[in-house]
């Protein structure tokens, strides 16, 4: 069911018409994420109302996979609580790194179309970057890089290759 064609269709659709692309009039958390290996750079702004993400937007220059991942991510986490978003961040990372079985129990829903990136090592960071940047924004870290020494995604990808 998570065929290559579905994956390509979703990526193309979100790349052509990215959801929540742009800036927010009111935001209280933001972060910039950078993936030097591909050249992806995106900024995520969100508005936390108490524990609730009541608005989120992204913009930047990125490849199709990164943009599609950001587009789907913003659609999914909008209206969710911060802790629900953190669960999704962890699950998405684990799935992209091949540590979560997409047919098992999780909260990812349609995001499982990205499960295939685990077989594309050069694309894993592209898919994870928006999630990693969201995590930074939620935790008031203003910029992250997939190549930073303390980057957990970087460490995992390296040890897997
Ligand atoms: Zn990329």
Interval between CA 41 and ligand 1 midpoint (Å): 9
Interval between CA 139 and ligand 1 midpoint (Å): 23
Interval between CA 53 and ligand 1 midpoint (Å): 26
CA 30, CA 106: separation in Å to the nearest integer? 27
Percent of the chain exceeding pLDDT 70 equals 89
Looking at the predicted structure, is the pLDDT value of residue 76 above 70?
yes
Alpha-carbon torsion (71, 110, 108, 94), positive or negative: negative
**Rounded to 10 degrees, what is the CA torsion of 64, 67, 69, 72?**
-120
Looking at the predicted structure, is the pLDDT value of residue 45 above 80?
yes
Answer with the residue of higher pLDDT: 150 or 89: 89
Closest CA to 93 of 149, 146, 139, 132: 132
Mean pLDDT of 105-109: 96
Its pTM stands at 0.88
Mean pLDDT of 137-151: 81
Looking at the predicted structure, is the pLDDT value of residue 27 above 90?
yes
Interval between CA 15 and ligand 1 midpoint (Å): 12
Antiparallel, parallel or unpaired: β 40-49 and 52-61: antiparallel
Mean pLDDT of 52-68: 96
Interval between CA 125 and ligand 1 midpoint (Å): 7
Looking at the predicted structure, is the pLDDT value of residue 8 above 90?
no
Looking at the predicted structure, is the pLDDT value of residue 101 above 70?
yes
Percent of the chain exceeding pLDDT 90 equals 76
CA 125, CA 73: separation in Å to the nearest integer? 15
pLDDT for 89: 97
Interval between CA 62 and ligand 1 midpoint (Å): 6
Answer with the residue of higher pLDDT: 156 or 72: 72
Instruction: Give 157's pLDDT tier (boundaries 50, 70, 90).
Output: very low
Mean pLDDT lowest for which of 15-19, 26-30, 91-95, 157-161?
A: 157-161
Interval between CA 36 and ligand 1 midpoint (Å): 9
């Amino acid at each position: 069911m998570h065929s290559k064609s579905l994956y390509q269709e979703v990526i193309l659709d979100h790349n052509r018409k990215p959801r929540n692309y742009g800036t927010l009039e009111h935001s209280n958390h933001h972060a910039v994420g950078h993936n030097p290996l591909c050249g992806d750079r995106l900024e995520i702004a969100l508005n936390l109302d108490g524990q609730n993400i009541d608005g989120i937007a992204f913009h930047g220059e990125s490849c199709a996979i990164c943009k599609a991942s950001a587009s789907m991510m913003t659609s999914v986490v909008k209206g969710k609580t911060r802790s629900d978003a953190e669960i999704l961040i962890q699950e998405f990372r684990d799935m992209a790194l091949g540590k979560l079985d997409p047919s098992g129990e999780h909260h990812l829903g349609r995001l499982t179309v990205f499960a295939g990136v685990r077989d594309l090592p050069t694309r894993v960071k592209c898919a994870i970057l928006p999630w990693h940047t969201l995590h930074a924004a939620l935790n008031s870290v203003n910029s992250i890089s997939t190549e930073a020494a303390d980057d957990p995604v970087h460490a995992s990808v390296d040890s897997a290759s």
